Chains A and B, each alone.
Chain A
Amino acid sequence: MPIAELQAENVRGNVHKDLVPLFFVLWVPLAIILSAINMRSSIDIFKQFHGKPDLERKRLVAGALFPTIEACLASTPDHARILIVGFPYDEDFKLDYYLYPRLIDFKEKDSIEEIVIYCRSEGIEYYVVYDQTGKPTVEKVGL
């Protein structure tokens, strides 16, 4: 945008002055809509996350990742059914390392607080939460 301004400054004086109010009028409604959407989304996030422990925040975020991970793994169907999407906060590096299902390895489970796996099998979607002892707990999230 400053390009034409530079030209206008250099060559023709204050030509831009006539355009800014026009663009301002065009832009303001959009900016107000965008600001409203942005504010609404921020307030929702604030309500959803504020004051929660870090691990809980991570588990809340995990849900939002499903579609992306599904898309990324679409080309590898053997991996598409079971995905790690959440992990304990303090040890998340170790689980990040095993983000790819192929790399799931419970040898290090002693240092892992819990593992949350998103599964989709025969149309049923659910989390499997493994605690420190390796015991799985299944939580259905939808049919």
Chain B
Amino acid sequence: MIAGFRLLAGIAFIYICGATVLSLLGYCHRDMLKRPYLLFCFGSGFISFALFAALLFKIQISLHTGIAVFLGLLFVTMLKNIFMRGGKIRWSLCRVRSDDIKNDIGGCEKLIRIVCIVIIAIQVICVLIVCLEQPENSWDGMARWGFKAKVIYSEKSVYVDYFNGSHYAFSHPYYPLSVPLEMVNIYLFLGEANDRMVKLVFFLYFVMLITAFFDIVKRFLLMSRALFFTALLSTVPIFLLGGSSAATCLANVPLAFYCLAAVLFLMEYLQQRRVEIIVPAGLVLFFCAFTKLEGLYYAAIFTIGFAGSIIIFDKNRRRQEPFLQHLFLLIGTFIVLYLPWLWFKALYIRLDHATFPSAVSLGYIISKLHRLIFVVPMLIFECLKVWHWHIAWIIFAGYFILGLKVRRLGREAIFLLSIIAGAFILLTAVYTVSSWWGALVLAIMTTVPKVITVVPS
């Protein structure tokens, strides 16, 4: 019972931190309760970053330190809100389309709505049951993400043998620390490393992901359509079944959530062109990169797609000049936040296989190009597996073909398409140059599900 309260306190702490960070960034207070996923996004990201910063400077982490840091943040936010009252910039994520519920109440529409709500509710309840009842049982969750969390929680430091000892190489110490630190935060509240209770955080990542998705889709579509696409996402089997599901302590769903949030902010900028959105967007891009290795590449893909869609569509020089400044601000924010982790990784984590990407030369890539004949069909085959994706990619292909018939593609459409294309190019490139060629089929079968990250897009 007490552990349950401690767990809830840990979860509440994430949301409170998120609200404070958003307030500091100038987010409109009255919009916060409408978008709990934003509180969760900035709360979890901030906590991970703050814990890492503390560990980097050898500050002893504890519940008291965490609360002290939060109070400091709260104080700064209050000062900002008091002294900048006159000149402060308020922003919120606007809604492009109001819900035209009245026009959307036909019998068929009602049926779609009810079926979708029931199906979403079933998935959410099932994931919750698994999270609350079953301890972590996936290899990656236990031996990699969970293991890191336990090491950091027990040692209260990142300067330990674990991060550079070859004995622990099986645990991939060079993986980014956002998810383990998120778990450490919960352990600090619980007072013990409990890999069953901590799974509630992963359940929340799943729920916040579908909430965010619904909120975004609702801007463009009727309620029943938005519910349909949300239900479609929530029933993607990769989310629900098997070793990478939302009920395991893995970084796939958290990364998918942060990526979706990044897409949300960048799309918001594409529509509104408001500089206030740039810093939060940079923060969320950092959360992506600090969650998983491929998060860094996704952040790069998002930025390139974002910049490309503006440069291609906006020929007006007057509008391009401020955009370039904003782009520098976006990249600058990201780099400032990412540098400490890069620095730590470069100086402290010295494992041979962690440096494989630096060994990839142009000659090496050319010598492996013949693999494309095998890799591309395998990727397509994997995406068509109903057991992994049901008909998500088929529906995407259907809409894509329909989209091709439309002569003019919008900025947002180009941006989203570039993300999906970028993700597949990334996967193809990784498999083509992979040193794990002998087990490539296994590699593709186990890692293609990670495209889950871009599915919400």
Contacts and interface: CB of A to CB of B under 8 A. Distances in A.
Contacts of A23: 228, 232, 391, 395, 398
B139 interface: yes
B413 A7 contact: yes
A61 B119 contact: no
Contact of B133 (A4, A49, A92): A49
Contacts of B377: none
Nearest to B232: A27
A140 B390 CA distance: 40
A1 B407 CA distance: 18
Given A19-B399, A30-B390, A68-B243, A7 B406 contact: yes
Interface residues of B, number: 67
A34 to B, nearest CB: 5
A36 to B, nearest CB: 9
Contact of A3 (B151, B232, B413): B413
Interface stretch (B19-27, B216-224, B331-339): B216-224
Interface in A44-66: 45-46, 48-50, 54, 57-58, 61, 64-65
A35 B115 contact: no
A34 B235 contact: yes
A42 B196 CA distance: 15
A37 interface: yes
A7 B410 contact: yes
Contacts of A8: 402-403, 406
Query: Which of B115, B194, B220, B407 has the most chain A CB atoms inside 10 A of its CB?
Result: B220
Interface of A: 1-12, 15-17, 19-21, 23-24, 26-28, 30-32, 34-35, 37-39, 41-43, 45-46, 48-50, 54, 57-58, 61, 64-65, 68-69, 72, 89-90, 92-93, 96-97, 99-100, 102-103
10 contacts: A1-B232, A4-B413, A5-B217, A9-B220, A12-B406, A35-B126, A65-B142, A72-B170, A90-B192, A93-B153
Q: Which 7 A-B pairs have the closest CB atoms?
A: A4-B399, A68-B139, A42-B126, A49-B133, A4-B403, A93-B150, A61-B137
